[in-house]
Structure 1
């Protein structure tokens, strides 16, 4: 598949479910909602083995993805194997394998929060900054006006609740699997992944920034480094999608020792 055929949200074969997903996401992901989700889900009280978490993604198809309708674990293995095939560092191979693992949130999520198999608007899809004006670089920008924050003078300006030039790490992004996994790993005592890996995990779905060029008023110098990291990772996250099917058990011998090197052998607390 050629690169230009990916992420075409206006293509005739893009399902109505994809568009409806983004409508709900834009309507419901407010600044207050994100604060509530942080309090609700970042308790780190659910121990689960890394590979058990991976296997659970055999049960989840990402409704926001216009390119792939396979269980999410297939996308993770495809990404990791492409990184491995190009001889990239072992930590980056592992990052490719786990970068969407925050989607295990669906195991304890709810329809009301948008964090279930049926309602995924609080878990998957391109994220944006909450607490400031929504840019036209969002997918389906016509839905931006549905967000209640856009009627609030505290939240509907270019900088909103933030200081100019505060940097990505000081922004509140829409709630989803990126931020969830980042926070889980940040809390994991045995985590030895380098900063680049954590950047890849946290910001890979932040398309209005890394692909749309938005939020320039809020960025700082370090964010330029982040952008290069994300663009490098994006090649493997986006352009490796295919209908090729892998079995997780067939690649475990390669990835298990890498995972033990960077994440230890104990459970991760979700």
Structure 2
């Protein structure tokens, strides 16, 4: 696929399910919803081995993705193998392999939360800041006004509940797999991934910022460094998508020692 063919949400062949996904996401992802999801899912009481979690993504196809309709584990392996092919550091290869692993939330998710296999609006898709005005750089900006927060004077201004220059790390983003995996790894005592990897994991779906150029009034100097990291990682997250199929067992022998180096050999608590 050519680069220009990726993320074309206005293409005539984009599935109706993609647009409907974003309609539901914009309507339901309010500030209060995000706080509820933090309380509900960030308990870290569900132990699971890394490779078991990877295997579960053989059962999940990301409904928000207009470019790929393969099980999500294929996208993870494609990303990691491209990073490996460019001889990037081993920690970055592992980051490519696990960056979407937060989508295992569907195992204990629910339709009501948008975190199930059928209802994914609380798991996947481009995220945005909750607690302030939704920008036109969101996918399908015509859905922004469906969000109840946009009728609430606390949340419908450019700064909303935040202070100017507070920085990305002090913002609440729409709930999804990025924040979930970031918080899981941040709580994982054996985690030795560098800070750069954690940035890539946490913000790779934050397209209104890293690609749309929005939220400038909220950013600080550190975020400029974050942007460089995300744009570097984005080459492998987005432009490696293809119909090539891998078997997880085929690549496990290579990645397992790297995973043990940075994540230990015990279970991760989700």
Classify the TM-score, shorter chain: over 0.9
Task: Report the equivalent of 2:44.
Answer: 44
TM-score with structure 1 setting the length: 1.00
Secondary structure at the aligned position of 1:231 is classed as helix
SS at match of 2:128: coil
Q: Write the distance in 2 (CA, Å) between the matches of 1:253 and 1:100.
A: 20
User: Quick check: 1:132 aligned with 2:132?
Assistant: yes
Alpha-carbon distance between aligned partners in 1 of 2:118 and 2:73, rounded to the nearest angstrom: 18
Cα separation, 1, equivalents of 2:136 and 2:86: 35
1:72 matched to 2:55:
no
Cα-to-partner distance string for 1:76-119 (whole Å, 9 max, x where unaligned): 00000000000000000000000000000000000000000110
Q: Which runs of 5+ in 2 are unaligned?
A: none
Aligned to 1:84: 84
**Distance of 2:243 and 2:2 partners within structure 1:** 14
Cα drift, residue 231 of structure 1: 0.1
1:95 aligned partner: 95
CA distance in 1, matches of 2:24, 2:128: 14
Q: TM-score, normalised by structure 2?
A: 1.00
Alpha-carbon deviation of 1:20? Answer: 0.1
1:172 corresponding residue in structure 2: 172
Question: Partners of 1:252 and 1:204 in 2: how far apart?
Answer: 24
Q: Deviations over 1:185-231 (max 9, x none)?
A: 00000000000000000000000000000000000000000000000
How many Å separate the matches in 1 of 2:162 and 2:143?
Answer: 23
Cα distance in 1, alignment partners of residues 170 and 183 from structure 2: 14
CA distance in 2, matches of 1:72, 1:65: 10
User: What is the RMSD computed on CA atoms of the aligned residues?
Assistant: 0.2
Runs of 4+ in 1 over 6 A off after TM superposition: none
The answer to whether structure 1 residue 181 and structure 2 residue 188 are counterparts is no
Q: CA deviation at 1:56?
A: 0.1
What is aligned with 2:25?
A: 25
Q: Which runs of 5+ in 1 are unaligned?
A: none
CA distance in 2, matches of 1:251, 1:209: 33
Match of 1:242 in 2: 242
Deviation at 1:238, TM superposition (A): 0.1
Offset at 1:263? Answer: 0.1
Q: Secondary structure at the match of 1:251?
A: helix
CA distance, structure 2, for counterparts of residue 221 and residue 37 of structure 1? 29
